Amino acid sequence: MKRSEINAILMEGDAFIRSFGYVMPPFAYLTPEEMQARRGEIGGIVDARLGWDITDYGLGRFAETGLFLFTVRNGRAEDLTRGRGMLYAEKIMISRKDQLSPMHRHVVKAEDIINRGGGTLVLELFMSDAGGNPDSSAGVEVPTDGVVRRLPAGGRLALEPGESVTLLPGVWHAFWGEGADVLIGEVSTVNDDMTDNVFREPIGRFSTVEEDEPPLHLLVSDYDRLLG
Ligand SMILES: [Fe+2]
C-alpha cells in the first residue's frame, strides 16, 4: 500500500471512530518524530505493539480485502503462561462495507468480536477438523451474548449493532460489513499478530508499504524498522 493511501485511511478511520463517541488514547496521535524522541519512555507501547494497524493482507486491494485496526491495550504472553496478570487485549476496528477480512483462526487467542455500530457485521464460520483445517461438515456452535447459536459449516452469522460473538481458538472466521461500514470492538486474550494468525489462503497479515509521503502516524508494523 502507498503511505499516502494509509494516511488517508487513517484519517477517515479516526473520524469514523470518533463519530460513535469512541475516543482514542493520547498515544494514537503521537507523530513519528515524537515517538522517536520519546522512545525511552514508550517501551510499553512498542513492546505490546499498541497502535495503528491498517492492512490489505499484502494483496494490494484494500477496498476488497482489508481491515482497519487500532490496538488499545494488550497484555503479556508471559502472564498468559503464568495464568494471572494482564491476560487481555482490546482493539477497535473498522470493516468497511463489503470489505473482507479473510478466513483465519487463532492458535492461542480467544476473542469477542462486537458490532459497536454502523452496518451489519457478517461472519462466515467453520470449526477446525483434526488437522486444524476448516471442517466442511461439522456444525458450528458459538456463544453470542450468552446464547449459543448453531450454524451449518460455513454458515453466516449476522451481528447487528450491539451484538457480539465469542470465537474460541480454532474457530475459523472471515467477516465483512454489510449495508454500511461497521465499527467493531475486539476484547480478547493477549494478542500476538506475529504468530497467532493462521490463514486459510497463503496471505500475509501486514501490508507492504511504499513510501510516497511521510507517515502521519506509525503503524505497528513500522515499529521494528523505524523505532528499533
Ligand atoms: Fe480473528
β partners of residue 53: 69
Q: What is the pLDDT of residues 213-222, one digit of tens each?
A: 999 999 999 9
Ligand 1 centre distance from Cα of residue 209 (Å):
23
Residue 178 has pLDDT above 90, yes or no: yes
Cα(143)–Cα(168) distance, rounded to whole angstroms?
A: 9
Q: The pTM is what? A: 0.96
Distance from the alpha carbon of residue 212 to the mean position of ligand 1, in angstroms: 30
CA of 69 to the centre of ligand 1 (A): 12
Whether residue 227 has pLDDT greater than 90: yes
HSE-CB at 79 with a 13 A cutoff on CA atoms is 13
Query: What separation in Å is there between the alpha carbon of 164 and the centre of ligand 1?
Result: 13
For residue 75, pLDDT beyond 90? yes
pLDDT above 90: residue 228: no
| Residue at grid coordinates 470465537 | 167
Taking all residues of the chain, what is their mean pLDDT, rounded to a whole number? 97
Cell of 125: 464460520
How many angstroms is it from 109 CA to the middle of ligand 1?
Answer: 8
Q: Ligand 1 centroid vs 174 CA: distance in angstroms?
A: 8
Indicate if the pLDDT at residue 163 is higher than 90: yes
**pLDDT, tens digit (0-9, with 9 covering 90-100), for 30-61:** 999 999 999 999 999 999 999 999 999 999 99
Taking residues 158-182, report their average pLDDT: 98
- How many whole angstroms from 66 Cα to the centroid of ligand 1? 13
One DSSP character per residue, the chain reads -BHHHHHHHHHHHHHHHHTTT----GGGG--HHHHHHTGGG-HHHHHTT-EEEEE-TTSS-TTTB-EEEEEEEE--HHHHHHTSSS-EEEEEEEEPBT-BEEEEEESS--EEEEEEEEEEEEEEEE-B-TTSSB-SSS-EEEEETTEEEEE-TTEEEEE-TT-EEEE-TT-EEEEEEEEEEEEEEEEEE---TTTSEEESSS--SSPPPB-SS--SS-BGGGHHHHT-
How far apart are the CA of 76 and the centre of ligand 1, in A? 18
What spacing in Å lies between the alpha carbon of 201 and ligand 1's midpoint?
A: 14
Instruction: List Cα–Cα distances, 41 to 37, 109, 215, in angstroms.
Output: 9, 28, 21
> What separation in angstroms does the CA of 116 have from each of 93, 109, 127, 151, 201?
9, 20, 25, 23, 28
Question: Grid coordinates 451481528 are at which residue?
Answer: 159
Question: What's the gap in Å between 172 CA and the centre of ligand 1?
Answer: 8
Query: 85-127, pLDDT tens digit by residue?
Result: 999 999 999 999 999 999 999 999 999 999 999 999 999 999 9
| Mean pLDDT for the stretch of residues 197-224 | 94
User: Distance from the CA of 107 to the center of ligand 1, in angstroms?
Assistant: 10
